Amino acid sequence: MTELEQVGERWDYAPAPESREIVQLQQRYGHYIGGRWLDATETYTTIAPASEEPLAEVGQGTAAEVDAAVVAAREAFPVWGALRPAERAKYLFRIARILQERSRELAVLESLNGGKPIKESRDVDLPLAAAHFFYYAGWADKLEYAFPNSTPRPLGVAGQIIPWNFPLLMLSWKIAPALAAGNTVVLKPAETTPLTALFFCDVLRQAELPPGVVNIVTGDGRTGAALVEHPGIDKVAFTGSTEVGKAIQRQLAGTGKRLTLELGGKAANVVFDDCALDQAVEGIVNGIYFNQGHVCCAGSRLLLQESIAEQVVDKLKRRLGTLRVGDPLDKNTDVGAINSAQQLAKIRELVASGEEEGAEIFQPECRLPEKGYWFAPTVFTNVAQSYRIAQEEIFGPVLSVLTFRTPEEAVEKANNTAYGLSAGVWTEKGSRILWMAERLRAGVVWANTFNRFDPASPFGGYRESGFGREGGLHGLAPYLELGE
C-alpha cells in the first residue's frame, strides 16, 4: 500500500506557521498623547481570539485622558495646518514607506490580535494601508486642483473611532485624508483590537511626525463617547454598528460638528444564469468568508437565478469543503477565528433563528480548535425574505441563499433591506451590469468580482449603512472647509 493510499484521496497541507518572534509586545501600554506615552489610570487585557491567550494590558481611556489628547491635537493644529502642503505630503510618504518596511511585523500582530488569516493581513490589509497613505500624500499639495473654485482649509481636530474587523486599514482610511487636509487627529481603536494602532505610534516616531498631530487613546465605548462629546472636536468619523452610529448622530445634532458614518450592511450578491459559474463561486466565497465574514460590505445574501440555483449551490458546498479553518498565523488558513466571545454568541443566536424559522443549514465537515472562538463556514438555503438571517447583519461566515427569476425581481429583493452599502452582479452582459448598477441602492456595486478596494475609489453607503465617503477625492472633502 502506497503512502498516498494510506492517507486516502485527501492531500493534507503541512502546517506553515508564521513566526511570532518578529513581534515584541510590551506587557502594558498607555496612551499616545502629544508625541509621547502616558501611563493609563485604568487598564484591561486584550487577548488572541484564536487561543484566548492574554497579549497585553491596554489603557481604558478616561474622560481626562481623552481631554489631554484633544488638547494636544488642538495645540498642534495651528502648526500642522499652516505647514506647507508639500511638507505634509513628505510625512505621509514616510509613513507609507515605513508601513511597507514593517509590514511583516504588522501583519503578524493584526492576525494575532484580530483572528484573521495571516495571508489576508499580509496580502490585503498591509498593502492597502500603505497605498492609502501614498495616495493621500499625492493629494496633499493639490487640494486647490482637487476642489476648484474654492479655498480648501482644514477643519481642525478630527475625532476618529474605528472597528475591530480591519484595525490598521481603517486607521489608514481615516488618518491619511485627515492629515493630508491639514487636520490633527485623536483616534480610538476598537477595544478588542488595539495593538496595531499602538504599534502604529512607533511608525509615527520613525516618520518624525510632529508631536500632537496624531494621538491615540484606547478603550471601550465609554472612551469613544467621551471623544464624540468633547467640545474640542471639530469633526467625528465613525465606522461601526448602525446602532452606535445612530446614537452618535443624535448626540451631535445641533452641535455644528461635521460627521461621517460608515455603518452596517447586508449586501446582495446577484448571480445571473449567463455568468462564468466557477468564477462566480470563487467570488461568492470571497464575498462572505473573507475575514470570517467580519466585513461590513460582505455579500451575505446570495441571489441566484432559478435556472442555475441548484448547480451553484452544489458547487458552493463542494468549495466550502476545501476551506481550511484554524490558526490565523498558519499561511494555509482560509477562515480564522471569530473576533470575540460576544461576536460568536451573536452569530450563534442568529444562526439558531435561521434554523427555527425553517431555513436549511449546511456546514462542511471541519474540526474546530478546542480553544478560542470559532464558527464553521455556513450556508442557508430555502431562505425567505422575512427571515432574520436575510434582514439582519450577522457579521460572520454565514451566507443566506435566495432565488429570483427576472432582473426586476432581483433588484426588488436586493433593495429589500434597511441597508445600502454594497452589492455584486455576476453576468457576461455589460448592458445588464449597467442596468443593475443604476437600480441597486448601494454605495458600491462590483461587477464580476467582490471585495475589491482601491484608495482612489470612494466607499460608503445609503440609508442605515451611513453617509459620507472614504477613499478618493470624496474622502478628502469631509475634512475640509471649502470656502470661497
CB 195 within 8 A of CB 185: no
Catalytic residue check, 105:
no
Give the separation between CA 264 and CA 225, rounded to whole angstroms: 19
The closest alpha carbon to 228, from 365, 240, 482, belongs to 240
Helix (H) or strand (E) holding 309: helix 306-320
CB 211 within 8 A of CB 35: yes
**SS3 assignment, position 3:** helix
Between the two ends of the chain, the Cα-to-Cα distance in Å is 82
| Residue corresponding to grid cell 455579500 | 299
| Residue corresponding to grid cell 449603512 | 465
Helix (H) or strand (E) holding 261: strand 258-262
CA angle 77, 78, 83 (to 5 degrees): 95
Contacts (Cβ under 8 Å, ≥6 apart) of 442: 267, 268, 414, 420, 421, 422, 423, 461, 462
Per DSSP, 121 falls in state: I
Taking the mean position of all CA atoms in its chain, how far away is CA 287?
13
- Three-state DSSP string of 160-208: EECCCCCHHHHHHHHHHHHHHCCCEEEEECCCCCCHHHHHHHHHHHHHC
Catalytic residue check, 412:
no
Q: Which of 18, 110, 262, 393 is catalytic?
A: 262
| Residue corresponding to grid cell 441602492 | 441
| Residue corresponding to grid cell 518596511 | 101
Active site (catalytic) residues: 262, 296
